[in-house]
Amino acid sequence: MNFKDLFKKDLRFKIGLIIIVVIVVFSSFSFFSPIDPFSTYYAPVNRAPSLNYIFGTNSKGQDLFWMTSFAFRNSIIFGLITASISRIIALLVGTVSGYKGGKTDSILMIINDSFITLPVLLVMILVAMVFRRLPFFLLAVILAFFGWPWDARLFRSQILSLKERKLTYTARFSGMKTLEIIFKIYFPHLTPIFFSTFINNMIWSLGLEVTLSVLGLTSLQIPSIGTTIYWANQHQALILGIWWWLAIPIIGAILLFTSLYLVTISLNEYIDPRVRAQGGIS
Amino acid sequence: MKKSLVDYVVRRIIQFVILVFISTSIIFILPRLSTDTGPVEQAIGRVMSQGQYIDPQAVEQLRENLEITYGLKGNIFQQYFTFWGNFLRGDLGPSFAYFPTPVTELIFNSLPWTIGLLGITTILSWILGNWLGGIVGTNRNNKWSRTVEVIINGFRPIPHYILALVLLILFSHIFPVFPSGGAYSPGITPNFSWSFFLEVIKHAFLPALSLFILGIGGWFQGMRTLVSHIIQEDYVTYAKLTSIKKNEIFRGYILRNAMLPQVTGLALQIGMLFSGTLIVEIVFNYPGMGLLAYEAILRSDYNLIMGVTIFSILAVALGTLFIDLIYPLLDPRISYGE
């Protein structure tokens, strides 16, 4: 995969990547933050953005610049955790199901379909309510166990089509063992799906994190995009006119999601070999 | 009916039953996995923290009654049995927040609002999304096509909550065009008159708009990709060569073939569409299941949340079943078997 080419030719990839890099750099500022994200009332309350406080301050007396940096860092790590774990599950299930076929396949796919039709938001609400105030990143892991079914099917259908191709027969008749075939031959074909669904899954899990936090169901002390909006709502920021407390996480989130999405669709088009041969979807 | 068609229908219905069974069992097990404070302890903790002296015997009685209410009496197998017994009789227990209203009654009051919002927006966004996607897919070198594409795709990644909040702020707060919540203005009793109908539409407009904007993107993009592959097929080239009218090619050849994966997609998306509706309802205080779930969260109403979740699973599974059952009408290959 030639990223430099993609960067030069596809405007969407360029814009998306640049915005993501900017956001990631911004969230890494939190590693050098002079303040503790859990401390409150160290800055004057409800000041509009100014030279002293670039993003302003909120009703809890916190400097929004550093808080937003922490917020984005935590949310991004959340998304990364969920996406990685669910990729691994999806890959395992999809490969086993696709290669073995038969009864294993049927059983796994029935379980898969049950998970697909679950309205995940409600189940997560139930889980969060029951297990009151889960640790933030544990929630990410739990979410991963609901994010794999869709992509497991993708991996499975790819494996199914690979199984029928000459390269499988050649490999098998040359005496390659099953595991060897899967790792050495199939995986290179699965890598593109792995990466594009990774980002897709990140978008999904970030959206769910924002939603759950806004409903007040996550660790509310940990700054994240969702919890910032939660606290802004709790302190009636809109009515009090503290627009920057809401606007900054919202605009930042929109930028983050849009840039991730741009990268996904440009990667998807690049990966599809038919599209690449045509020089883009035309 | 042909044997293969009956086969297909029977298989789908069995799948439906298994699916509901497995999902409901998962929902049953989840809360019982929590080893520390269960809802009974939480409720008792709340009562005790009020500071009054309560007779220990009364607390024991309270605990027992709560256990029965929450379905936590007996060991896990007895609980499972009681749960299914009650569930099949249509009893999901009383709601704790709106005690003693039964959960089923609360759900049936909210369900029509959610189904109405969800149903109308889904149908509209699916039809329009597919139609626009088809047009843009066939006439791709138009400047309009590119603009439409950018606009529609621009909204896709935005999470439901954020778009709903932005619309609420813009059109209810900054430019007070639309009412900021509810399904109808307080004080009006629901009736089947024209003025009430208009009220409902005025209040439902913003929620419906958010769902519509977010929904249309998916169908649009999917349809466009499908169509861009179909117009390269031989039968379309043949149709063009035999100078069949462009409209007819569009409808009969391109749309009809692209429709099938989109219908499957609809069946698979119902779960996500449902979740999206819930979020939008919460933002706009729309009295559907979403708001019910939110109130339940705020008041730690355990029974209500379980009831709403189970009902949503049922609704989603039913929707999927329904679409799968009308699928043979659209794809003749299924009724002729494999």
Query: Tens place of pLDDT for every residue, chain B, 338 residues?
Result: 567 778 878 888 888 888 888 888 888 877 777 655 566 777 777 777 777 777 888 888 888 887 777 767 777 788 788 888 888 887 777 777 777 788 888 888 888 888 888 889 999 999 998 888 888 888 877 888 888 888 888 888 888 888 888 888 888 877 777 777 777 777 777 777 788 888 888 888 888 999 999 888 888 888 888 888 888 888 888 888 888 888 887 888 888 888 888 888 888 788 888 888 888 988 888 888 888 888 888 777 777 888 888 888 888 888 888 888 887 777 777 655 54
> Cα A80 to chain center, whole Å?
6
Check B309 against A111: CB less than 8 A apart.
Answer: no
Among candidate residues A124, A83, A242, A159, the one with its CA nearest the CA of residue B30: A124
Q: What is the DSSP secondary structure assignment for residue A36, as one 8-state letter?
A: -
User: Would you call B268 an interface residue with chain A, using a CB distance cutoff of 8 Å?
Assistant: yes
- What HEC string does A146-205 produce? CCCHHHHHHHHHHHHHHHCCHHHHHHHHCCCCHHHHHHHHHHHHHHHHHHHHHHHHHHHH
**Residue A279: per-residue pLDDT:** 55
Interval B255-280: pLDDT, tens: 888 888 888 888 878 888 888 888 89
Looking at the whole model, is its pTM more than 0.95?
Answer: no
Interval A106-118: pLDDT, tens: 888 888 887 887 7
Please report residues of A whose CB lies closer than 8 A to that of B272: 119-120
Which B-chain residues 206-235 have CB contacts (< 8 A) with chain A?
A: 225, 228
Q: What is the DSSP secondary structure assignment for residue A38, as one 8-state letter?
A: T
Please report residues of A whose CB lies closer than 8 A to that of B230: none
- What is the average pLDDT across A126-141? 82
Chain A residues with CB within 8 Å of chain B CB: 110-111, 113-114, 116-123, 125-127, 129-132, 150, 203, 206-207, 210-211, 214-217, 229, 238, 246, 250, 253-254, 257-258, 260-261, 265, 281-282
User: Would you call B14 an interface residue with chain A, using a CB distance cutoff of 8 Å?
Assistant: no
User: Would you call B161 an interface residue with chain A, using a CB distance cutoff of 8 Å?
Assistant: yes
Check B157 against A257: CB less than 8 A apart.
Answer: yes
Check B158 against A281: CB less than 8 A apart.
Answer: no
Instruction: Give the whole-angstrom CA distance, residue A151 versus residue A84.
Output: 12
Name every residue whose Cβ is closer than 8 Å to that of residue A53 and which is 6 or more positions away in sequence: A43, A47, A63, A64, A65
Q: Give the pLDDT band of residue A275 (cuts 50, 70, 90).
A: low
Whether B171 and B165 have beta carbons less than 8 Å apart is answered as no
Check B19 against A265: CB less than 8 A apart.
Answer: no
Q: Is the predicted pLDDT of residue A1 greater than 70, yes or no?
A: no
Q: What is the DSSP secondary structure assignment for residue B188, as one 8-state letter?
A: P
State the ipTM, two decimals. Answer: 0.78
Instruction: Give the whole-angstrom CA distance, residue A103 versus residue A159.
Output: 17
Check A117 against B282: CB less than 8 A apart.
Answer: no
Residue from B227, B275, B306, B313 to probe the interface with A (highest A Cβ count within 10 Å): B275
Q: Give the pLDDT band of residue A277 (cuts 50, 70, 90).
A: low
Whether A144 and A201 have beta carbons less than 8 Å apart is answered as no
- What is the average pLDDT across A196-203? 89
The total of other beta-carbon atoms located within 10 Å of residue A132's CB is: 12
- Between B72 and A150, name the one with better pLDDT: A150
Please report residues of B whose CB lies closer than 8 A to that of A227: none
CA closest to B313 among chain A residues? A118
- Mean pLDDT score of chain A: 84
Q: What is the DSSP secondary structure assignment for residue A57, as one 8-state letter?
A: B
**Which DSSP string do the residues of B227-291 spell out, in sequence order?**
HHHHTTSHHHHHHHHTT--HHHIIIIIIIHHHHHHHHHHHHHHHHHHHHHHHHHHHHHT-TTHHH
